[in-house]
Amino acid sequence: MSDRNPDERHIDEGSKDRQLETFRREPGEYLTTNQGLQVDSTDNSLKVGERGPTLLEDFHFREKMNHFDHERIPERVVHARGSAAHGYFQVYESMAEYTKAKFLQDPAVKTPVFVRFSTVVGFRGSADTVRDVRGFATKFYTEDGVYDLVGNNMPVFFIQDAIKFPDLVHAIKPEPHNEIPQASAAHDTFWDFISLMPESMHMIMWVLSDRALPRSYRMMDGFGVHTFRFVNEQGKASFVKFHWKPLLGAHSLVWDEVQKLGGKDPDFNRRDLWEAIEMGDYPEYELGVQIVPEADEFKFDFDILDATKIIPEELVPVRPIGKMVLNRNPDNFFAETEQVAYSPGHIVPGIDFSNDPLLQGRLFSYLDTQLIRLGGPNFAEIPINRPVCPVHNNQRDGYVRQTINKGRVSYSPNSLGGGCPMADPNNLRTYTHYAEKVEGHKIRQRSESFQDHFSQATLFWNSLSAAEKEHLISAAHFELGKVETREIRQRMIDLFNRIDHEFAKRVARGVGVPEPTEEVVKNHGRTSAALSLENSPKDSIKTRQIAILAADGFDRSQLMEMKQALKDAGAMPQIVSKFKGTIKSADGQELEVDKTFLTSGSVLYDAVYVPGGQQSIETLKMQGDAIHFLNEAFRHGKAIAAAGEGVDLLLASNLAGVELAEQNGRMAADKGVVTTRHGTVGDVTGEFIQAIAQHRHWTREQKERVPA
């Protein structure tokens, strides 16, 4: 019991109020924990030395990340909108020289997988095709337990230290005062943050590029992002980076398509993945690795523990080691796609971590997130998360516990249960952390080797084709054009000027700030061929969607011949007309219409074909939707073909304004437009298929006047 009188307590409480008022009147706000403790930094986690592992005692990091992980329920804070599929992985040959991971040993073994693709920023109800990073998370159900390779479709990230992740996501999410904009980086708070974070410059170049607009999850690269370790049976370790490469090649949409697809079909990528698997066109990806001997850790002019850097393939080639096939859709979206729980901490013997401070933080964050999303510590018992090998431990009870544990023993050591479960005395299948020697002072500081924020951004810029550079500049004009604060736009131009002077000048012209007058840093001139989508394989039209425009009176032989040729090449042709039902050919045969102009659009297809038939063409000429369909496809660089009177529809669509002209019975056109007026369809099928395989024909973007 206090020996103070009530008046003294009143005086103390008044003093506290006055003290708080004094604090409130002080200029600025001093950074504190939730307990009011001032901290000296929120930019670096506490590590052993500059390049050492993050320490569990870092209470500021844990509080910041813990609060962030629990901000929203029940959907994921990031990667909320996802789509997934089951499949299997097979290694090409034993990787025993580098790793003892069992699933990387026997080419005859098919390891089950569950892969979830996702956008990062938007809520569950947002569109698939927004400009964003895409998640590429793979769960391997191995005989030694679950292994999760949790990556993205870009090989680098915005930040170097996980303690900045809440700041990044807070900045890019809808602004808190009005919850606008959804699933978009084009607003002040994001670019305010980025303009003050030079380490983000490499990632920003990727986000502004076509890589942020994938044509399909089936045509999208995947990366493990971080540097991990392989460890073999002898305990020898190597550093490793993981790459997924789609066998169909990596291809993109264009920005105008993306905006229109958000209205036409916000489920575009999700639907594409589902329908391809249902049709038996199983997505396939090669797993590749870049392996760096431990002795070579410091031989590069960047730090391999820095998640904002790549290892250029010219320095360390990607070695294909296996193939993944996705061959089954989920039975229930919620039970599987929504409840699947990934974590980089789900590991198997033979694979270990590096001291990458972003990876170190993720090891804490993912587990913490699942505890709130999935109702407690038993999320591993949800069917989609269960390992295929037995589970034995003394963990009990908790929310939604499913296992009915028998017997009286739930502790270790014990004698009543025969000592079980016990550690394997022979260590045959146990996980042993790599015995890396670590020493250093406990500090909040970043290594000097993490300080180059611009040279790889320049490498990325230098490696793009002319068309890809134009797209990136246009993306910067859109994103920064939405930023209201001029100072933020100016800061971004100043940062871009450290990447490339001409690039900064071209961006500045479109965002209302002066062009930089001086070249701050000379462009180093280096390139890496793997960074350009233009270098992706372009030898197949498998699964490509082709629209065939037709109406009553179409030339049946021209339509059917091209349709069959496209199907034989693996494409998916569909008849598009004004109304659903059937249309009648000039010779009286009926054909089922797949889609209407109202329910589809050129943005849903990879190419367009117009067969002849005088009545059909005269009808289509009078339909604005048909004319717009062709104009739009032409604007987006897609392959277009026409036969017989179908050529007249191309001319009527105002494409003649961009140098389409008949010459000697063939149309001399921009690359990617294939026609025959008097010849046979067979004369142009091969050329049309080759034009589709090129994905897009960017020379059309150089025209001043392109309809639609």
CA angle 569, 571, 572 (to 5 degrees): 145
CA angle 598, 604, 608 (to 5 degrees): 90
Among 430, 323, 342, 419, which Cα is nearest to 380's?
342
Token digits of residue 694:
């090129």
DSSP conformation class of 516? P
Number of Cβ atoms within 10 Å of the Cβ of 10: 11
How many CA atoms within 13 Å lie on the side-chain side of 705? 7
The answer to whether 193 and 167 have CB atoms below 8 angstroms apart is yes
631 among known catalytic residues: no
User: What is the C-alpha to C-alpha distance for residues 319 and 267, in angstroms, rounded to an integer?
Assistant: 34
> Among 44, 60, 79, 153, which one carries the catalytic annotation?
79
The answer to whether 486 and 444 have CB atoms below 8 angstroms apart is no
DSSP conformation class of 214? B
> Among 66, 152, 378, 462, which one carries the catalytic annotation?
152
The answer to whether 111 and 142 have CB atoms below 8 angstroms apart is yes
79 among known catalytic residues: yes
> Buried (b) or exposed (e) across 584-607, using 16+ Cβ within 10 A?
bbbeeeebebbbebeebbbbbbbb
User: What is the C-alpha to C-alpha distance for residues 386 and 147, in angstroms, rounded to an integer?
Assistant: 11
| Residue type for position 584 | K
* Burial status of residue 280 (CB atoms within 10 A of its CB: 0-12, 13-18, 19 or more): exposed
User: What is the C-alpha to C-alpha distance for residues 36 and 182, in angstroms, rounded to an integer?
Assistant: 33
Contacts of 511 (CB under 8 A, 6+ apart): 476, 477, 480, 481, 483, 489, 492, 493
* Burial status of residue 672 (CB atoms within 10 A of its CB: 0-12, 13-18, 19 or more): buried
Helix (H) or strand (E) holding 278: helix 268-278
Region of residue 612 (phi > 0: left; psi between -120 and 50: alpha; otherwise: beta): beta
* Helices and strands, counts by H and E, the chain: 17, 22
Active-site positions?
79, 152
